[in-house]
């Protein structure tokens, strides 16, 4: 296991939840590192004195377990292997391969002295029947591809490569761990991303949803990739696609919009996209209309659209969004009168207002970015993140930070 990347923040979460009577569920897009995290945790248990026979670790997508696709044989198989004395640690990878797996998990909890850890690559894992059966008895640990901080630890760079150049690589290749093996070979990296993307689309979306058109799914994916960080609604996307003849639009009802809404929720369930709602800062309420969509990893976007430097503003906004999720914030788009705050990020006892722009050098941009923050009257921290390296570190109490420094902080 020596070649495993250590993901200390995620491993620490598992360690902190160890032996707590909750089922630990690690969720995230395929190949973002969930299996490696279970391997790391397995190693941690052994290192902390747990006997090997007290650990049952299974990847349910392995053909070794091809007869365990239903919860009853799965339950019997595992039960026979649970240690007769002491606690047994159950580590199940890609558990969505077992139908009604939640019934088996609930039964293990009731029948044995066990501590349970699960991974899954789509949100159907947390579907309503599961939530009902295990309500209040599980904790979700969402996992994302590599952060920039992890990326520069994970890859080997020549000493002469500057942090800005490393960041440029991160913008281009994204943070899927598998790409390390290709050493920034763009063609091979794109093939690897294409493979992951196809698996996600075919296995986690197409297989689970009847009447899904791969062509429409691809069109919506491309539309969302091209409009990262732009405010869109399913209706507006539906209008574009029905004008192009891809979706039937019915009379009087927004069938196209409803279709798009369904497809976006499938992409969300496979952890490819995140939809962020809008929040009225003054009225302190969530707005129902229009949100933004961000992609889980920029490598996929660049693989689908080609890498273009032109949209850097929106690309770095996407990176800030993902970093806020990693730092355990709940994230909204802020509406302040007729202006927007890129992100309102909340924790139980903390709030941040953040604007993201490539540069604050021009007076017009500076005014545009600072104006919404100046209008907010509370005392929570207000930050503008940009690629600038400037001696000016604040404007009227609004912090101006370099994005790369912020990501590495």
Domain identity same for 128 and 88 = yes
The domain total for the chain is 2
Asked if residue 354 belongs to a domain, the reply is no
User: pLDDT means per 10 residues in the chain (409 residues)?
Assistant: 75 97 94 95 98 97 96 98 97 92 94 96 74 83 96 94 96 95 94 95 83 91 93 88 74 73 92 92 76 95 87 92 96 91 95 96 95 93 95 91 97
CA distances from 167 to 46, 210, 299 (A): 36, 41, 13
Reading the block at residue 104, the tokens are: 């088996």
pLDDT score for 249: 62
Domain identity same for 97 and 158 = no
pLDDT score for 336: 87
Domain identity same for 215 and 258 = yes
Final residue of a structural domain among 142, 173, 206: 142
Please enumerate in sequence order all residues whose Cβ is within 8 A of that of 377, keeping only pairs 6 or more positions apart, or say none.
Answer: none
Final residue of a structural domain among 274, 289, 307: 274
Reading the block at residue 341, the tokens are: 């705050």
pLDDT score for 217: 93
Asked if residue 260 belongs to a domain, the reply is yes
Torsion angle defined by CA atoms of residues 397, 402, 407 and 409, in that order, rounded to the nearest 10 degrees: -60
Asked if residue 328 belongs to a domain, the reply is no
Domain identity same for 133 and 158 = no
Where residue 120 sits, what CATH number does that domain have? 3.40.50.300
Reading the block at residue 324, the tokens are: 């806020």
Asked if residue 229 belongs to a domain, the reply is yes
Domain identity same for 63 and 176 = no
Containing structural domain, residue 154: 148-274
pLDDT score for 252: 45
Considering the entire predicted model, what is its pTM?
0.92
Contact 177, 33 (CB under 8 A): yes
Domain identity same for 123 and 214 = no
Asked if residue 287 belongs to a domain, the reply is no
Residue 29 CA to residue 298 CA, distance in Å, equals: 13
Domain identity same for 106 and 172 = no
Domain identity same for 174 and 233 = yes
Asked if residue 307 belongs to a domain, the reply is no
Chain Cα centroid distance, residue 320: 12
Burial class of residue 115, CB neighbours in 10 A (0-12, 13-18, 19+) = buried
Residue 88 CA to residue 81 CA, distance in Å, equals: 9
pLDDT score for 129: 67
Domain identity same for 130 and 166 = no
Domain identity same for 98 and 36 = yes
Asked if residue 69 belongs to a domain, the reply is yes
Share of the chain residues as helix, strand and coil, in percent rounded to the nearest 5: 45, 20, 30
Final residue of a structural domain among 246, 274, 302: 274
Asked if residue 214 belongs to a domain, the reply is yes
Domain identity same for 132 and 184 = no
Domain identity same for 163 and 90 = no
Residue 380 CA to residue 88 CA, distance in Å, equals: 46
């Amino acid at each position: 296991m020596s070649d495993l990347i250590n993901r200390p923040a995620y491993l620490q979460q598992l360690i902190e939840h160890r032996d707590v009577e909750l089922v630990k569920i690690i969720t995230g897009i395929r190949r973002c590192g969930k299996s490696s995290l279970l391997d790391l945790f397995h190693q941690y248990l052994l290192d902390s004195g747990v006997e090997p026979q007290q650990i049952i670790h299974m990847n349910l997508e392995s053909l070794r377990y091809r007869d365990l696709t239903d919860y009853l044989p799965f339950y019997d198989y595992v039960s026979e292997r649970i240690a007769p004395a002491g606690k047994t640690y159950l580590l199940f990878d890609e558990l969505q391969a077992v139908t009604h797996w939640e019934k088996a998990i609930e039964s293990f909890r009731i029948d044995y002295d066990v501590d349970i850890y699960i991974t899954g690559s789509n949100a159907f894992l947390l579907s309503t029947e599961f939530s009902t059966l295990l309500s209040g008895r599980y904790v979700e640990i969402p996992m994302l591809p590599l952060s920039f901080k992890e990326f520069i630890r994970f890859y080997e760079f020549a000493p002469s490569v500057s942090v800005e150049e490393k960041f440029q690589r991160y913008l281009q290749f994204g943070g899927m761990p598998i790409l390390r093996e290709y050493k920034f070979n763009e063609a091979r990296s794109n093939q690897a991303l294409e493979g992951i993307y196809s698996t996600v689309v075919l296995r986690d979306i197409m297989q689970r949803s009847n009447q899904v058109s791969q062509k429409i799914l691809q069109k919506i994916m491309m539309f969302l990739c091209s409009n990262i960080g732009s405010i869109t609604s399913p209706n507006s996307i539906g209008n574009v696609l029905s004008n192009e003849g891809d979706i039937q639009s019915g009379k009087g009802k927004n069938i196209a919009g409803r279709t798009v809404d369904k497809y976006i929720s499938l992409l969300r369930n496979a952890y490819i996209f995140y939809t962020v709602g809008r929040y009225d800062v003054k009225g302190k309420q969530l707005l129902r209309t229009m949100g933004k969509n961000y992609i889980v990893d920029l490598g996929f976007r660049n693989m689908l659209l080609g890498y273009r430097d032109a949209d850097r503003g929106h690309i770095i906004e996407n990176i800030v969004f993902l970093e806020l999720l990693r730092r355990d914030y709940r994230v909204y788009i802020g509406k302040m009168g007729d202006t927007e705050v890129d992100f309102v990020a909340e924790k139980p006892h903390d709030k941040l207002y953040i604007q993201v722009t490539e540069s604050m050098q021009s007076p017009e941009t500076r005014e545009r970015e600072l104006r919404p923050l100046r209008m907010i009257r509370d005392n929570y921290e207000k930050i503008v993140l940009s690629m600038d390296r400037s001696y000016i570190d604040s404007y009227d109490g609004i912090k101006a930070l370099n994005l790369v420094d912020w990501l590495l902080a």
